[in-house]
């Protein structure tokens, strides 16, 4: 079930060609709302709109915003002319048409029909959206911009890519060559139907040397070992390996999270690599204080992952330095590098591992 309310747009706070961030009057209160142009078109101040208020009413992590279902100024809209017959959000009232890379009419169709391999490209397989910016920024710094970095956004969490401010910032700063959204996720520079073609599109359509694959903003997790969206990290490892790429499993790490299951290497990463990942992958670990490093190694040994993965240690400080250099503010569960350095050091270690593979490929 969903909760729907009518509201009036009082102000457009921020907008671009993909998304509008609004303030709306709803039941006498001014609250935040988001409209995706691909679904609703553009709204104007003073216009009434229908909102999905479910997540805010349940106090969930949707950024504290409602989502626009439709503007009521012109409730009927025509489908714009143009190619594309693949539906995202299919079989829902908000299903929308996109031009997928794989279908007739796409300029990338023939390239993807012929593509079968990632040609050894490193694929950093992450578990949270907050990993994308530190890895991309660090990879840029480590290669002095020589490596093209692209992002595959999965459909395990937030589905509209325009919700991510960080991806837009990364592209504006030249740290990310582009983004591909697949499955039910939409709004990337390119659209694909599955993770395999999305990775191939990064490599062959966007020309990526390094690929970062991770979900969008938000995630689902409970205290049961397999009850979390982070399980897809193992599936991403498998896909990268099956396509002839070099999977780099980025461990979700923390020594600041109050929940025991997320301390050291999070159970999200451990269960994904133990249960879902069948391919061998690189597992870069950051240099940590001795007690933290010993705890991480003990976790891996206990589950037999030290024999299943290629584990190396790297200095991950580059991620924190790169974020600072480029003016990128990134938090994970509300914590930045000062509060949770291990998370960001792990991202830097993964970037170093990916760049090492990139340099080897370049010969």
pLDDT tens-digit readout, 70-89 = 999 887 888 888 889 999 99
Q: Residue 216: which residues within 8 A CB-CB, separation 6 or more?
A: 129, 153, 154, 155, 156, 157, 158, 159, 160, 161, 163, 164, 185
Find the range with the poorest average confidence among 259-273, 296-310, 317-331: 259-273
Q: Residue 75: which residues within 8 A CB-CB, separation 6 or more?
A: none
Find the range with the poorest average confidence among 59-63, 270-274, 278-282, 345-349: 59-63
Which residues sit opposite 100 in a β-bridge? 191
Tell me the mean pLDDT in the region 342-362: 97
* pLDDT bracket for residue 61 (50, 70, 90): low
Distance, CA of 247 to CA of 354 (rounded, Å)? 9
List the domains of the chain with CATH numbers.
Answer: 4-71 (2.40.50.220), 109-362 (3.40.50)
Check whether 224 has a pLDDT greater than 90.
Answer: no
Q: Which residue, among 221, 248, 209, 237, has the nearest Cα to 361 in the 3D structure?
A: 209
Mean pLDDT of the chain: 94
Distance, CA of 170 to CA of 154 (rounded, Å)? 18
* pLDDT bracket for residue 62 (50, 70, 90): low
pTM above 0.75, yes or no: yes
Q: What pLDDT is attached to residue 184?
A: 97
Q: Residue 252: which residues within 8 A CB-CB, separation 6 or more?
A: 127, 128, 131, 230, 262, 265, 266, 268, 269, 343, 346
Q: Which residue, among 281, 283, 175, has the nearest Cα to 236 in the 3D structure?
A: 281
Instruction: For 4-22, give the DSSP string.
Output: EEEEEEEEEEEE-SSEEEE
Q: What percent of the chain has pLDDT over 90?
A: 85
pLDDT tens track for 109-158: 999 999 999 999 999 999 999 999 999 999 999 999 999 999 999 999 99
């Amino acid at each position: 079930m969903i909760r729907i309310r009518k509201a009036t747009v009082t102000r457009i706070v921020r907008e671009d060609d993909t998304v509008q961030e609004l303030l709306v009057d709803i039941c006498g209160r001014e609250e935040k709302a988001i409209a995706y142009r691909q679904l609703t078109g553009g709204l104007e101040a003073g216009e009434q709109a229908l909102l999905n208020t479910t997540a805010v009413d349940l106090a969930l992590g949707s950024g504290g915003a409602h989502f626009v279902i439709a503007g009521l100024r012109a409730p009927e809209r025509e489908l714009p002319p143009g190619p594309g017959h693949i539906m995202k959000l299919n079989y829902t009232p908000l299903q929308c048409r996109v031009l997928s890379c794989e279908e007739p009419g796409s300029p990338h169709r023939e390239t993807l029909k012929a593509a079968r391999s990632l040609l050894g490209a490193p694929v950093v397989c992450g578990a949270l959206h907050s990993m994308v910016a530190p890895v991309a920024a660090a990879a840029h710094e480590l290669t002095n911009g020589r490596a093209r970095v692209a992002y595959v956004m999965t459909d395990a969490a937030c589905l509209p890519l325009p919700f991510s401010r960080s991806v837009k910032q990364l592209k504006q700063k030249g740290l990310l060559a582009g983004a591909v959204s697949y499955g039910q996720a939409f709004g990337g520079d390119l659209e694909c139907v599955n993770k395999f073609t999305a990775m191939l599109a990064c490599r062959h359509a966007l020309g990526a040397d390094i690929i970062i694959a991770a979900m969008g903003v938000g995630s689902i997790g409970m205290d049961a070992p397999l009850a979390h969206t982070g399980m897809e990290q193992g599936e991403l490892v498998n896909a990268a390996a099956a396509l002839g790429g070099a999977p780099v499993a980025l461990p979700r790490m923390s020594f600041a999270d109050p929940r025991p299951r997320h301390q050291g290497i999070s159970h999200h990463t451990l269960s994904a690599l133990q249960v879902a990942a069948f391919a061998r992958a690189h597992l870069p670990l950051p240099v940590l204080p001795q007690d933290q490093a010993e705890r991480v190694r003990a976790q891996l040994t206990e589950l037999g992952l030290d024999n299943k993965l290629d584990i190396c240690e790297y200095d991950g400080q580059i991620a924190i330095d790169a974020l600072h250099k480029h003016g990128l503010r990134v938090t994970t569960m509300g914590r930045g590098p000062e509060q949770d350095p291990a998370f960001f050091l792990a991202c830097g270690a993964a970037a170093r591992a990916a760049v090492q593979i990139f340099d080897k490929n370049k010969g």
